[in-house]
Amino acid sequence: MAFDTLEMPYGTFEYVVGGAATFSSIAASLLTHGVRIVGIVGEDFPQDYLDFLRKREIDTLGVEQVPGKSFFWRGRYSADLASRETLDTQLNVFANFQPKIPESHRSTPYVLLGNIHPQLQLDVLDQVEKPKLVAADTMNFWISGESATLNKLLGRTDLLIINDEEARQLSGIDNIVRAAADIRKRGPSRLIIKRGEFGSLLFDEAGTFFCPGYPLEEVRDPTGAGDTFAGGLLGYVARHGDTSALTLRRAMFFGSALASFCVEDVGTTRIGKVTRSELDARIQAFARLVDYGGSLALPAEESR
């Protein structure tokens, strides 16, 4: 849970509430009840925002508020929003974060480990009892700097959700298909590789599955889209109550649909306002986007 200052091509937005837990939990709360977040914020974090989360029935018992400032990130996006540059990172209260899972939350069945130090991700896992699905994210910084700890985490992860550059870095393999095979050998039986607007690939026991990004007329801010995708995915799985390969494939459409809302405005502005009927409409649009009538059989050749 964080503040982001976003330098967009069309203007700068100061101290926007962001952070993986924020985006993910809002997305999940659109699909299931009982979403719980764990995180740390400083005294500067707006009470209003915590209230907003609680109104969405997101349990914030695991959110510590401590003296000091909240995590802060400042970034500048390129003109086409396809890349961004970090201008400033201030860990602040995050520097000494030790995630504590409330006693009542230890039996949480579906666990999404946001991108933090892999040792902290492991510490969370040590505090939960036999979850049905452990999903995790990570980033280049931990892949290069904490590979031994990250490997331990991979051994305890069911579903790794990373982007294509991270997959290449983690495996040392340029080709995405071979990179995926390599990563799955290290622990996660399931792997989702995100490719931004180009969609995402799932590699699991059922083979390879592709879910597109939703083609949008306007993208305002890609920040948090990946976290929204992961939160929506887990939210759908939790709602469904099973972790089958087919459920996971369908969950990707919900994750992708929610991510497509997320990018329509700055920070959590848009995702925080999505209604169930808007989500239903976009899911239907998604179904049309990939609808080829179900059959790819070749017709008999006409007479020659």
Interface with a copy of itself (CB under 8 A): 31-34, 80, 174-178, 195, 198-199, 201, 207-212, 215-219, 236, 239-241, 246, 249-250, 252-254, 280, 283-296, 298-299, 301-302, 304
Nearest distance, CB of residue 287 and a copy of itself, angstroms: 5
Question: Encoding tokens for residue 205?
Answer: 């026991």
Residue among 11 and 67 whose Cβ is closer to a copy of itself: 11
Residue among 153 and 159 whose Cβ is closer to a copy of itself: 159
Nearest distance, CB of residue 158 and a copy of itself, angstroms: 20
| CB-based contact 101:128 (threshold 8 Å) | yes
Residue among 126 and 301 whose Cβ is closer to a copy of itself: 301
Question: Encoding tokens for residue 4?
Answer: 């982001």
Nearest distance, CB of residue 292 and a copy of itself, angstroms: 4
CA–CA dist 271, 224 (Å, integer): 10
Nearest distance, CB of residue 254 and a copy of itself, angstroms: 8
Residue among 72 and 214 whose Cβ is closer to a copy of itself: 214
Nearest distance, CB of residue 165 and a copy of itself, angstroms: 12
Alpha helices (runs of H) in the chain, residue ranges in sequence order: 20-29, 47-55, 118-126, 140-145, 147-155, 164-171, 176-185, 225-240, 245-262, 276-289
Question: Encoding tokens for residue 130?
Answer: 């036999």
Residue among 68 and 212 whose Cβ is closer to a copy of itself: 212
Question: Encoding tokens for residue 290?
Answer: 């990939």
Coil, strand, or helix at residue 194? strand
Question: Encoding tokens for residue 257?
Answer: 């649909």
CA–CA dist 189, 245 (Å, integer): 11
Residue among 68 and 199 whose Cβ is closer to a copy of itself: 199
| CB-based contact 9:254 (threshold 8 Å) | no
Nearest distance, CB of residue 116 and a copy of itself, angstroms: 30
| CB-based contact 127:106 (threshold 8 Å) | yes
